[in-house]
Amino acid sequence: MGMIVLIFAFTMLLFFPLLGGYVAYKKNNSQTLVIKQDRSKNPRYFADAFIKLFEEKWINYDGSGKLKFSHEESIIEADKTALYKSKCDSVVYAEKIDFNPEPTGIQFYKEIYVKKNAYLRGVIQLRAIACLSNVLIGENTEIIRWADAQNELIVLDNCDLGISTTSGNELIIGINCLFRRLYAPVIYIGQKPEQKWSAYNTIDKKILYLVPKTETKRNLKYIDKFLINESGIAEFSVVSKRNVTVVENIIVQGSIRSHKGIRICDGVIVCGNLFAEGNIVLGKNVCVLGSIFTQGDIIVESRVMIGQKNKIVSIVARGRIEFSENSVVYGNVSCEGGGKISKWLE
């Protein structure tokens, strides 16, 4: 009898933690992921830190052409010259005039700090640039570390944007560009400055005021016309162990969380967030008003809007992110596997 009691007690001790975990899982598994965006790192940290350090050191500059940072660096005052060696290994500072270096084909191996505008059409490589106004980066430019502009930062086609490219106002990036991290209140992706496209020109503004629903449906595979109301709206969020597909031209008034992948078909609007363990694919003319996180890849087709004006969201992929032309993002873009902007092929 004593042996039976011991075996029973051992069995209970073995399975009781599993029972508690199962109860917690059943209780919380249907809840959508809550993404807190009130605390975030400064996405423009590189430029802000460099500007602060430079200004502190510049106060004591004696005109010697040398400035001590972590170690002594050569300084070129761009206000006094427009001509540079093809391989420039000095820190460059432009204070009172626009920075427009000549000739073409220059490589800048040190940081550049510009207080007015910077025009880098002929630069083929630069380490980093911080600008208090506007920056234009020409075609076929390679950025080794980072670029930042307080106002507008324009990147033309075929550029490698290094570790981080950011703007305090507006970022415009052309076709066939590589990136790791991007940030601006608005990012025009795969576009030209003279032909900027935004879904705000076509989207029904009432959509922007729909509050995401917290009522949750579990383990759906498809969100289709059988799950929407007379206004074409699916009034719920989704948590699923399956791959989730939202069929064309549906409004999802909630978030979608999948333990596998998510496919958002053409013309869909999602009012909440997307979270997946697998890949996330956004079709043409899709609008996602919340943030997007995945352990896999994110593929974005043409004319997609992510986020909305005056609301910063995040797009984060453990894998890669590939954008097509004519998309808009409001906020942060980050990918460990590298990102690319490609021309859309029908």
Q: What is the pLDDT of residue 205?
A: 73
For strands 118-120 and 280-282, give the pairing: unpaired
Nearest to 291, CA basis, from 34, 45, 30: 34
Average pLDDT for residues 198-202, to the nearest whole number? 69
* Chain segment 202-237, per-residue pLDDT in tens: 777 778 888 888 899 999 999 999 999 998 999 999
Rounded to whole angstroms, the Cα distance separating 306 from 102 reads 39
Q: ∠ at Cα 183 (202, 181), nearest 5°?
A: 120
Q: Where are the beta strands (DSSP E) in 190-326?
A: 216-218, 222-223, 233-234, 237-240, 244-246, 251-252, 256-258, 262-264, 269-270, 274-276, 280-282, 287-288, 292-294, 298-300, 305-306, 313-317, 321-324
SS3 74: strand
The region, left, alpha or beta by phi > 0 then psi within -120 to 50, assigned to residue 156 is beta
Average pLDDT for residues 1-16, to the nearest whole number? 61
Rounded to whole angstroms, the Cα distance separating 58 from 26 reads 61
Q: What is the pLDDT of residue 176?
A: 96
| C-beta separation of 274 from 262 below 8 A | yes
| C-beta separation of 343 from 324 below 8 A | yes
Return the higher-pLDDT residue of 211 and 120.
120
**Residues whose CB is less than 8 angstroms from the CB of residue 260 and which lie 6 or more positions away in sequence, other chains included:** 240, 241, 242, 243, 244, 276, 277, 278
For strands 66-68 and 72-77, give the pairing: antiparallel
Query: In this prediction, what percent of the chain has a pLDDT beyond 70?
Result: 86
pLDDT category at 32 given cuts 50, 70, 90 is: very low
Rounded to whole angstroms, the Cα distance separating 82 from 107 reads 14
Average pLDDT for residues 63-89, to the nearest whole number? 92
- Helix H or strand E encompassing 266: none
* Chain segment 124-152, per-residue pLDDT in tens: 999 999 999 999 999 999 999 999 999 99
* Chain segment 274-320, per-residue pLDDT in tens: 999 999 999 999 999 999 999 999 999 999 999 998 889 999 999 99
Q: What is the pLDDT of residue 200?
A: 66
Rounded to whole angstroms, the Cα distance separating 76 from 222 reads 61
Return the higher-pLDDT residue of 237 and 20.
237
Average pLDDT for residues 145-163, to the nearest whole number? 98
Q: Is the pLDDT of residue 27 over 60?
A: no
Q: What is the pLDDT of residue 16?
A: 58
pLDDT category at 3 given cuts 50, 70, 90 is: low
Nearest to 271, CA basis, from 240, 245, 305, 301: 305
Q: Is the pLDDT of residue 17 over 80?
A: no
* Structure letter (DSSP) for residue 208: G
Q: Is the pLDDT of residue 47 over 80?
A: yes
Q: What is the pLDDT of residue 150?
A: 98
Q: Is the pLDDT of residue 39 over 50?
A: no
Which of the residue ranges 34-43, 180-189, 212-221, 327-336 would you say has the lowest mean pLDDT?
34-43
| C-beta separation of 161 from 333 below 8 A | no
